[in-house]
Amino acid sequence: MSAVIILLKPDCMERRLWGTALEFLQTETDFKIHDSRLYHACVPTILKLVKHYAEHQGKPFYDGLMKFMVSGPILAVSGWSGNIPRLRENITLFRVKYAEGGPRNLIHCSDSPESGEREADIWFP
């Protein structure tokens, strides 16, 4: 099992899909929830987002992504998965069903065990 961080983004929270998303993760994937924390737009959260999205700094979409990510609360969820690629495929199905497009894609999911560990250090120090 590999560490995975799920972020339920501001659009997920605003549209009150967080319960649907958590139920989906528990019933349609092998993701096992360990912990969760609710973050609001404030300086400590912004600093976490800067670290989280450091690899995207300087890219054309970065500023819009950051503006969106501080537009509302974020629910960070830590857990484990035995198959991150399959987990991400399932999350894509959830996005297809519920997301509005662009950065408003409801959910972030770690893309590798290494990313999961790095993101866990950011969101669950």
Task: Show which residues are catalytic.
Answer: 108
Tokens of residue 2, six digits: 């590999």
* Among 122, 106, 124, 125, CA closest to 49: 122
* Among 69, 67, 53, CA closest to 14: 69
- Specify which residues 89 forms β-bridges with: none
Q: In residues, how long is the chain?
A: 125
* CA distance linking residue 60 with residue 118, whole number of Å: 24
